[in-house]
Amino acid sequence: MSSRQVPQPLGEVLVSADDLQRRVRELGAEISRDYAGRELLLICVLKGAVLFLSDLMRAIETPCQVDFMAVASYGSATDSSGVVRIMKDLDAPIAGREVLIVEDIVDSGLTLQYLMRSLGARDPASLDVCALLTKPARRKVDLPTRYVGFEIADRFAIGYGLDFGERYRNLPFVAALADN
Ligand code: IMP
Ligand code: MG
């Protein structure tokens, strides 16, 4: 690891920077094969998926476009309630498009369930999910996540886009928040 200052609440590293980069390249290759000959629309869920998106799209060789959506889910700092509000909607319609939602982490699954319903109602040609991380132990709803980077234990994760109180998104690896 570099000499970067490590913040106080950092617990153990859950996914190293090398493992992240290797897995993102694998996902990019898999997506490139699956969508060969079709033009993909990547929908990045702000803000957590920004780092993942930027690495993933460089690993995708098929033509692709990108759009952004921001959602807020009511709840505590570490638990979402499933009541989701769209803070920023897509710039363009998605009817007839091959859509892949790029998410940072699937926890309860409630945010993604809401997104799948909301985007599914806009008549895309296809609608799938690529999530960097998943916490299966926390899942409350069953969701078809076509591409998943890593399954992690039931710990609150920070880094590589994931925040705790808007901090730590810039860490190049994923770590657990200390003492949780
Ligand atoms: P869900 O609705 O419970 O699946 O949670 C979805 C959102 O909560 C994710 O897109 C993240 O923004 C956030 N979230 C869930 N778990 C974590 C975590 O361990 N670290 C940081 N953010 C998380
Ligand atoms: Mg978040």
Residue minimizing CA distance to atom 8 of ligand 1: 80
The per-residue pLDDT for 73 is 80
24's CB contacts (< 8 A; 6+ apart) are: 52, 55, 56, 59, 132, 149
Indicate if 67 belongs to the active site.
Answer: no
Q: Which of 106, 111, 141 to mutate to test the pocket of ligand 1 (most atoms within 8 A of CB)?
A: 111
| Ligand 1 atom closest to residue 103's alpha carbon, by position in its atom list | 10
> Choosing from 19, 107, 163, 179, which is the catalytic residue?
107
- As a whole number of angstroms, the distance between CA 32 and CA 62 comes to 5
Task: Tell me the two tokens of residue 110.
Answer: 């409630």
The per-residue pLDDT for 18 is 98
The per-residue pLDDT for 138 is 87
Looking at the predicted structure, is the pLDDT value of residue 60 above 80?
A: yes
Which ligand has the nearest atom to the CA of 75?
Answer: 1
pLDDT per position as a tens digit, 101-146: 999 999 999 999 999 999 999 999 999 999 999 999 988 998 889 9
DSSP assignment string, 77-123: SS-EEEEEEEEE--SS--TT-EEEEEEEEESSSHHHHHHHHHHHTT-
Measured in angstroms, how far is the CA atom of residue 38 from the centroid of ligand 1? 30
Of 180, 150, 177, whose CA–CA distance to 163 is shortest? 177
Which ligand has the nearest atom to the CA of 135?
Answer: 1
Identify the structural domains of the chain with CATH numbers, from first to last: 12-177 (3.40.50.2020)
Q: Which residue has the tokens 């993933």?
A: 56
| Ligand 1 atom closest to residue 84's alpha carbon, by position in its atom list | 2
- As a whole number of angstroms, the distance between CA 41 and CA 119 comes to 12
Residue type, 36: A
| Averaged confidence pLDDT in the chain | 92
Residue type, 81: S
Dihedral of alpha carbons 62, 68, 72, 77, sign: positive
Residue minimizing CA distance to atom 22 of ligand 1: 162
- As a whole number of angstroms, the distance between CA 39 and CA 122 comes to 18
% of the chain residues with pLDDT over 70: 92
Evaluate the omega torsion of the peptide bond into residue 135 and state whether it is cis, within 30 degrees of 0: no
Residue type, 156: F
Residue minimizing CA distance to atom 20 of ligand 1: 157
Point out the least confidently predicted range of 77-81, 134-138, 165-169, 174-178: 77-81
Looking at the predicted structure, is the pLDDT value of residue 83 above 70?
A: yes
The per-residue pLDDT for 179 is 76
